[in-house]
Amino acid sequence: MAAEKGRAFLLKIGVGENPEVFDVVGGMRSTSLRINNEMVDVTNKTSGGWREILSGAGIRHISLGGSGIFTDSVSEGILQTKALASSVDNYEITFESGDKFSGAFQITSLEYAGDYNGERTYSIALESSGIVNFTNV
């Protein structure tokens, strides 16, 4: 696999009624994706002192995050509205290669900050709800 540019790792928010239409979240400087797999420990007295994990039994979810400079883009306004509504909506995260994860997510945190001699910034955290699809190009 070839190296990819971080600036091409994009968080996109669903816009409108069409579930296939996404807009890049404006002003982002960093983007992150974490795949979480909860394990189910089935260790017992016959395990010989070694932990045993039940394959495929835990809950899976994906966490998205990012931060950037507030640019007053349309997508940033949509994010704020969705964060205040505590709604579950469609999001997509894409890589330079064209691979992508897409599914329903809820904004769990939206934070704004700004120093007296600097720019206004924001950071965001999202958690998946239901199946997240991976498309490998």
Domains along the chain? Answer: 6-44+51-135 (2.30.110.20)
pLDDT at 46: 97
Q: How many CB atoms lie within 10 A of CB 38?
A: 9
Q: Which residue has the higher pLDDT, 15 or 135?
A: 135
The C-alpha atoms of residue 52 and residue 60 are separated, in whole angstroms, by: 18
User: How many Cα atoms within 13 Å fall on the side-chain side of residue 84?
Assistant: 6
Alpha-carbon 43 to chain mean position: 33
Are residues 109 and 96 in contact, defined by beta-carbon separation less than 8 angstroms? Answer: no
Give residue-wise pLDDT tens across range 5-63.
Answer: 999 999 999 887 777 789 899 889 999 999 999 999 999 999 999 999 999 999 999 99
Residue type, 48: G
Average pLDDT over every residue of 75-90: 91
In the numeric block, which tokens belong to residue 99?
């691979």
pLDDT at 1 over 70: no
Residue type, 67: S
**H helix intervals, the chain:** 74-85
For tokens 């996109």, the residue is 12
Are residues 111 and 122 in contact, defined by beta-carbon separation less than 8 angstroms? Answer: yes
The C-alpha atoms of residue 126 and residue 88 are separated, in whole angstroms, by: 10
Give residue-wise pLDDT tens across range 98-130.
Answer: 999 999 999 999 999 999 999 999 999 999 999
